[in-house]
Amino acid sequence: MSLYRQTISDDVDAFDCRKVRVLIERVFRGRKYPKPVGLYSVSYKADYRLLHKDEEADYCSFDPGQEKPERILPRTALFPPLFRELIVREMMARGEPLSKEPVLEMRYHKGPCTVARIAREGEVPTVAVGPGLGIPASPQLYQNCRIKQ
């Protein structure tokens, strides 16, 4: 759910009454952005619905039963098989001992609406990252494909 609370609005063009410039407070997935955001030329005002003050409380009400469990992302992941083989061969060519499996340090984009966090040292992540396609959002697109699992 996204909510935009309008703070300041301004007509941009007297001849084009469908475009406006608006300064808003943005709330995305229950988290409020720290600074006001300016909307201009993103879309037309017909794409938004204005709520009366009385309706705002009902629209913004939060049901604790809808709260999702916290997503904990892994700190590292395995390299793809071919890339892993190249790394192992390079290590052997340099004479380095292969004491443990080479792993990739993960980097995640962290924005104001990020709802997941990176696992701490020794913590078990709740999200698995591994090689392969994973679970597609639209499985019907892959019905006729032969994919090894």
Last residue of some domain: 35, 66, 97? 66
Residue 77: beta bridge partners?
A: 104
When pLDDT is cut at 50, 70 and 90, the band that residue 55 belongs to is: confident
Residue 35: predicted pLDDT = 82
Residue 89: predicted pLDDT = 94
Residue 38: predicted pLDDT = 80
Q: Which of 58, 57, 47 is nearest to 19 (CA)?
A: 47
Domain with 17 in it:
2-66
Residue 107: predicted pLDDT = 92
Tokens of 120: 């701490």
Residue 20 vs residue 84, higher pLDDT: 84
On whether residue 21 sits in a domain, the answer given is yes
User: 64 by DSSP, 3-state: which?
Assistant: helix
Phi, psi (5° rounding) for residue 140?
-65, -20
On whether residue 62 sits in a domain, the answer given is yes
On whether residue 148 sits in a domain, the answer given is no
- Whether 76 and 54 map to the same domain: the answer is no
- Whether 76 and 137 map to the same domain: the answer is yes
Q: Which of 61-65, 79-83, 85-89, 101-105 is predicted with the least confidence, judged by mean pLDDT?
A: 61-65
Answer whether residue 10 shows pLDDT above 80.
no
Answer whether residue 64 shows pLDDT above 60.
no
Residue 116: predicted pLDDT = 86
pLDDT in tens, 93-147: 999 888 888 999 999 988 766 778 899 999 999 988 877 767 777 878 878 877 6
- Whether 94 and 124 map to the same domain: the answer is yes
Supply the pTM of this predicted model. Answer: 0.54
Mean pLDDT (the chain, rounded)? 77
Total H helices, total E strands in the chain: 2, 8
Percent of the chain with pLDDT over 70: 66
DSSP per-residue letters across the chain: -EEEEEEEEEES-SS-TT-EEEEEEEEETTEE-SS-EEESSSS-GGGS----HHHHHHHH---GGGPPPPEEE-SEEEPPHHHHHHHHHHHHHHT----S--EEEP-----TT--EEEPPTTPPPSS---SS--S-S-GGGGTT-----
